Structure 1
């Protein structure tokens, strides 16, 4: 909702408040102000000009040389390219030195050899959105009324010396979808009264009922009223009305349509104007549409209706879709002389369903959906009649033709002050509560320890005691609610150890560059046990929606691989995903599947792609293993985890390993088999899956921090000739066991298999680190420790190169 403060001032006194201060008060009372918009946008030197003459530019077909008076006989030459500029017009002129929105600064210039001393402006150039600019001026300059005074402030004249508040309304606050609703809210905040519009007009001796009859056949419309205004003169609306509408985000059309839109924004009550002569009959019938019935709406689109859509007809054919949009066959045009004003109350559910089905949403439908004030329906029609008489010269016929079965009884809420204070945890006096409710214009009576409140019908959101609690709290001030500790404040909440570790696991994956995926727990019979490293009896649904989603999964990998394939098929050349989720194994004593939380990853494509360095690295087994090792390192399990060569159907036989924790299998890691990659149209792809529950529940010793070493370490490198089938991990374990307590670390740093090695042999190079935290090692100590390692390797059949 866009609220012009110049417009708001008509109903409540806000002159003493700066716009920012008012916005702060409104926000603190419960309606958030999303933006405070200065419509002048810092513009200067923008005045009214009078076009004395216009001639074609001698060297440009689309430019005109205009002589423009800008006040007190000051005539300046301005070059203008607008197609609608003409002599005798009053226009908006930005003089040299003027600043316009977007940082535009106007200077004297020459255009094709002709001097230009300013710019004749369109509304768009003054920062007004094109969608709200009147169609007559959408592609040219804006023409001011004849009584505009040259040299006067143009921004003041067209309403840009104004500030607009953009309210972010929640769906329950439909009352604030109108200027009067906002006025009631601001008046309550500032403890002021609301100045409602005075409605007075003269009527003719003719009666409306002699011109039009109303019949309601559908219960979805409990109130329908029509007023008739004759001899209206269709013209442009006064400048003040046009610019109030534009400030509210509504495009002006003509005085009749603008009046209905003005009242829509003022009262929050949608109205519609029919051309009486175009109705062709003297009756309006409100009924449900016939199945397949058609209507061309005001946007020139043909709409096909359903039997539950509510329509307004002339007794023969639809002339409007109730609460949504009028029909083109009864539209007010420049030839209209007699107008029928419709004011109605349509059920929100009916309007919403019709609007959604037709894909047609309007300001009217939005208000009917959320609920309008039943006591403003007829009042809005009277206000429209008044303005049609004042601004369109209309003659209002006596009376209103109406069918009224609408219950307008205010909702009654009974609540005790103790209930309010108990819910808020504070002590607000009865006097303060009554004062707040009176500021809100709620009829309230205190009796027998209770507040008996009749809620105005404009506040459709107030139904129960808790609604009154909210109203008291927000106007008393949320900042006034005291800060208190919970009763059991010593029981501080927090994450369990398992939850904290799970969060660490996610952080490791995301820190390595993987994106989290969430896949289905249900899968097909073919994929249910694929890649499962602990396959057990599966759990099938009794009534699955499809075969593809009929069995609970026992591995996360299959769906992650499918997700990778899906992304690659859509031009994502590199994919790195992980998932934390449950697998379902066997059955518990209650005949339910046992859930086990796992973590899995899939990586494919490039791992490093630094174009500026010309560096490109594709993923491999060791990238996946490095991510898994980082996870165990963060969880403090590195020393307890080992890897063993494994064979898993669907994974590459030479690039697959089982992951063991304390000798128990907790996961697997490997590359997809070439046949699997071809099936899913993937390049080199590697996967891993770990029983997250097992590793998070594993007991870990407390972290003991050690001081930074003061003494240097000594490294020894050895290259060993091994059988190709001998895992490097076995040799590493032999080295660790043979080394004395001085051996602190063993790493593989090179593997060679080539022409200079026998066909069934390989060379593996290890780096051994010796260190004593208490003193500097001697060469003799290192040699003795290293000799023990070499002896153990020789006994194991490893040959030193």
Structure 2
């Protein structure tokens, strides 16, 4: 935001004003970021103010005129020009012989160090110099006064006693203009008064507000205009009426301030509304009352597909999310963005309706973005404006119009303000602020700082009850006062000390569990991988996931970068298969990998809340030496490390991504006998492996880490080495292919007496020797007694019971050892 130092001085009273450099340095230290400082008249040398005495046609050029100029004590000069906006009696800038202008000259590029002007001849007629347009004196095209933007600069005002004097001295063109970077959380600083408030607090000065009261007629604004607000997107709408308006050029002091702020002077009424917008940060708009059919203003959303021509002459199409200002016949302005072409102030305008409104920032931002139309007004609404400024800003406009004699103000206003915004009250503690800053600032000093920022402080002792003005929308909690105190106290005064932390940092149980799992799996030869959390939902088809399965109920991304990142993953297995397929395609013979990553699911308890996030563990292996039991062994080692007991492996005949009958749900049996699923493991379905381009058998498992933590035991129980020896017996049996290993182990454990201490599977065989549809399964059984050495008879009796149970319950055929 461009801020004129001279403009700031109008509101801040200091015993001694600092130099421009000192001002910038102190403002930076109090938290205002400054990009650059420049000067309006930079590069102007010896350019004078002159008066046009006469204008005659050039004898040898149709487009040129010869002007006689009065430069006061410097005498009279003759200037030849092609400008068409001149008239006798006009006051203009003249660069005489030897003058320097910053340029650029019309039709030429800008030159380093400016352009030196010399006397000469144009088509045989002597010219003692050059009359200057705004651009030639360094004023940007967009800021050139409307009446001078395409020709010579016609100076507003009477300069009869200033003829021949330097223009930069007379017009105050030595004013410094600072470009402040305003952060989005400080919309109050998008105004001269906002920056003046910062300057007054920084330098200990007094903030003086401009006059807002004025003389009014007995007629009321409500006699001329009726306002109806139909949408909640308009927080407040204030309208005032001014009669007997005289459209003219604004006085130079007003034009200068607008130019310094980067705005083009248009005419007195428009300039005053723009001036007050820059002064208070509240956008305003002036309507010619003749353009408001029926004296009606209605604030409502547009009709979908409706068209409207804005002030810049462009016809635009609107939808029903865009807020409009309408009269009895239709739209007259885009709320918060730009007025309409037919409602603008014209040279013959006599009665003006002044709008000072507050619109919801998000609505203005969306409208501005859709239309590709951004203005000073829309930029302010987007960041948020205090609704309480509406009436103040409208009163200020009326006061200026009355003071400058440009019209007569009607009494009162039409003000629709359904939900007034009240000042925020926030508690803060002196001790807490000092602790955060590492300082020992007294309460009185803190109170003085906050009051200099126009905050009211109550309370006593350590407690401060602070009422923040409604313009400070960034003050929400105690920590916000830490910043306010720090920047006004002086960042350079804060001690260089490290904070004392009483908090002992500890790793969470979840983090510690994940660390241990990583260490264990790495020790078993597995490599850790990480895959993207974003997925393409087509992967569920490749993985044979059922259409109605919970895995497909994904959290979708509102603005995905592409189809492959359209949703958040619900399981890790598809990403695991991607990695295994990539390794297989590069001829890697064997792979063991795992991933610990977040999965995401919809929040069904609070649908408007954030999605649920949790950690899963995925393990994937393939290779000639890898099998279902390799994977199962890795998982059992993990369970042993975590102290998870009483785990069952329940065969699943069909489970989407897995091979039918070659996968198992891994469940924990609770003390109440309930089965809680910890995860699933098994051989990947051949069709799925084929979809991923993998030709070998692939084994994967996925587990819920939160459930593993729930059933883990951190207590390590130690058992004494047994005193008496154990003995073992091997048993091999032929059973149906459909018989699950888990069922076999269950029968063995139930039939075994108290001396059965271990059951270990060591072989599975399929082949012609055992017959079609059959398999051979072999176990090693361990027997031991705690109090004595077992006899062969005791062992054989216990073993015989196991054999008998296998035959009776499973129809097993026992093979000879």
Q: Normalised by the shorter chain, which TM-score bucket?
A: 0.5 to 0.7
Give the structure 2 partner of residue 131 of structure 1.
142
Whether 1:141 aligns to 2:146 is no
Give the structure 2 partner of residue 588 of structure 1.
594
Closer, same or farther: CA 373–548 of 1 in aligned 2, 3 Å: closer
Whether 1:2 aligns to 2:15 is no
Whether 1:122 aligns to 2:139 is no
Q: Is the 8 A contact 1:263 1:269 kept in 2?
A: yes
1:221 offset after TM fit, Å?
1.7
Give the structure 1 partner of residue 310 of structure 2.
297
1:179 offset after TM fit, Å?
0.7
Give the structure 1 partner of residue 727 of structure 2.
none
Matches within 5 A, 1:344-493: 344-391=357-404, 393-485=406-498
Give distance in 2, aligned partners of 1:186 and 1:328.
39
Question: Secondary structure of 1:136's match?
Answer: helix
Q: Which has the larger radius of gyration?
A: 2
Give the structure 1 partner of residue 211 of structure 2.
198
1:586 offset after TM fit, Å?
4.9
1:256 offset after TM fit, Å?
1.1
Q: Is the 8 A contact 2:93 2:131 kept in 1?
A: yes
Q: Please, what is the CA RMSD of the aligned residues?
A: 3.4
Give the structure 1 partner of residue 813 of structure 2.
none
Give the alignment's TM-score, normalised by structure 2: 0.60
Closer, same or farther: CA 134–448 of 1 in aligned 2, 3 Å: same
Question: Secondary structure of 1:143's match?
Answer: coil
Give the structure 2 partner of residue 82 of structure 1.
83
Give distance in 2, aligned partners of 1:283 and 1:555.
70
Closer, same or farther: CA 548–305 of 1 in aligned 2, 3 Å: closer
Question: Secondary structure of 2:207's match?
Answer: coil
Closer, same or farther: CA 151–423 of 1 in aligned 2, 3 Å: same
1:287-332 superposed Cα distances (whole Å, 9 cap, x missing partner): 2222222221111122222212222111331111211111223222
1:555 offset after TM fit, Å?
11
Give distance in 2, aligned partners of 1:5 and 1:179.
10
1:161 offset after TM fit, Å?
2.5
Give the structure 2 partner of residue 224 of structure 1.
237
1:135 offset after TM fit, Å?
3.1
Question: Secondary structure of 1:447's match?
Answer: coil
- Which of 325, 331, 340 is 1:327 aligned to? 340
Q: Is the 8 A contact 1:310 1:321 kept in 2?
A: yes
Question: Secondary structure of 2:286's match?
Answer: strand
Q: Is the 8 A contact 2:292 2:328 kept in 1?
A: no
Moved more, 166-175 or 88-97: 88-97
Closer, same or farther: CA 585–426 of 1 in aligned 2, 3 Å: farther
Give the structure 2 partner of residue 687 of structure 1.
none
Question: Secondary structure of 1:222's match?
Answer: strand
Give distance in 2, aligned partners of 1:166 and 1:265.
14
Q: Is the 8 A contact 1:374 1:406 kept in 2?
A: no
Q: Is the 8 A contact 1:255 1:391 kept in 2?
A: no
Q: Is the 8 A contact 1:256 1:392 kept in 2?
A: no
Give the structure 2 partner of residue 51 of structure 1.
52
Matches within 5 A, 1:618-629: none
Equivalent pairs counted in the alignment come to 531
Q: Is the 8 A contact 1:226 1:343 kept in 2?
A: yes
Q: Is the 8 A contact 1:289 1:309 kept in 2?
A: yes
Closer, same or farther: CA 546–463 of 1 in aligned 2, 3 Å: closer
Give distance in 1, aligned partners of 2:355 and 2:32.
31
Closer, same or farther: CA 554–210 of 1 in aligned 2, 3 Å: same
Give distance in 1, aligned partners of 2:275 and 2:241.
18
Closer, same or farther: CA 594–165 of 1 in aligned 2, 3 Å: farther
Matches within 5 A, 1:713-728: none
Question: Secondary structure of 1:422's match?
Answer: helix
Give distance in 2, aligned partners of 1:46 and 1:406.
55
1:43 offset after TM fit, Å?
1.9
1:146 offset after TM fit, Å?
5.9
Question: Secondary structure of 1:385's match?
Answer: helix
Closer, same or farther: CA 89–480 of 1 in aligned 2, 3 Å: same
Question: Secondary structure of 2:593's match?
Answer: coil
Q: Is the 8 A contact 2:156 2:250 kept in 1?
A: no
1:370-408 superposed Cα distances (whole Å, 9 cap, x missing partner): 121222210111111122223353111111111121322
Give the structure 1 partner of residue 656 of structure 2.
none
Q: Is the 8 A contact 1:585 1:593 kept in 2?
A: no
Q: Is the 8 A contact 1:28 1:474 kept in 2?
A: yes
Closer, same or farther: CA 228–547 of 1 in aligned 2, 3 Å: closer
Q: Is the 8 A contact 2:534 2:564 kept in 1?
A: no
Give distance in 1, aligned partners of 2:532 and 2:334.
43
1:136-193 superposed Cα distances (whole Å, 9 cap, x missing partner): 3222111124621321332244442211011011111111111111111100001111
Whether 1:261 aligns to 2:279 is no
1:417 offset after TM fit, Å?
0.8
Give distance in 2, aligned partners of 1:141 and 1:77.
15
Closer, same or farther: CA 191–109 of 1 in aligned 2, 3 Å: same
Give distance in 2, aligned partners of 1:83 and 1:219.
50
Give distance in 2, aligned partners of 1:39 and 1:548.
51
After the TM superposition, which parts of structure 1 deviate over 6 Å for at least 4 consecutive aligned residues?
A: 519-524, 541-545, 547-551, 554-557
Closer, same or farther: CA 465–317 of 1 in aligned 2, 3 Å: same
Matches within 5 A, 1:313-324: 313-324=326-337
Give distance in 2, aligned partners of 1:481 and 1:124.
47
Give distance in 1, aligned partners of 2:485 and 2:292.
50
Give distance in 2, aligned partners of 1:469 and 1:295.
48
Matches within 5 A, 1:238-317: 238-317=251-330
Give the alignment's TM-score, normalised by structure 1: 0.62
1:740-794 superposed Cα distances (whole Å, 9 cap, x missing partner): xxxxxxxxxxxxxxxxxxxxxxxxxxxxxxxxxxxxxxxxxxxxxxxxxxxxxxx
Give distance in 2, aligned partners of 1:585 and 1:366.
57
Give the structure 2 partner of residue 93 of structure 1.
94
Give distance in 1, aligned partners of 2:31 and 2:331.
42
Give the structure 1 partner of residue 41 of structure 2.
40
Closer, same or farther: CA 322–106 of 1 in aligned 2, 3 Å: same
Give distance in 2, aligned partners of 1:73 and 1:482.
61
Q: Is the 8 A contact 2:61 2:123 kept in 1?
A: yes
Give the structure 2 partner of residue 106 of structure 1.
117
1:83 offset after TM fit, Å?
3.1
Q: Is the 8 A contact 1:255 1:392 kept in 2?
A: no
Whether 1:18 aligns to 2:19 is yes
Give distance in 1, aligned partners of 2:323 and 2:451.
39
Closer, same or farther: CA 324–548 of 1 in aligned 2, 3 Å: closer
Give distance in 2, aligned partners of 1:23 and 1:594.
62
Q: Is the 8 A contact 2:247 2:268 kept in 1?
A: yes
Closer, same or farther: CA 338–124 of 1 in aligned 2, 3 Å: same
Moved more, 224-233 or 137-146: 137-146
Give the structure 1 partner of residue 777 of structure 2.
none
Q: Is the 8 A contact 1:522 1:553 kept in 2?
A: no
The gaps in structure 2 that reach 5 residues or longer are: 103-111, 502-530, 537-550, 557-561, 567-573, 584-589, 597-616, 622-817
1:522 offset after TM fit, Å?
9.8
1:80 offset after TM fit, Å?
2.2
Question: Secondary structure of 1:427's match?
Answer: coil
Give distance in 2, aligned partners of 1:308 and 1:89.
49
1:520 offset after TM fit, Å?
9.4
Give the structure 2 partner of residue 617 of structure 1.
none
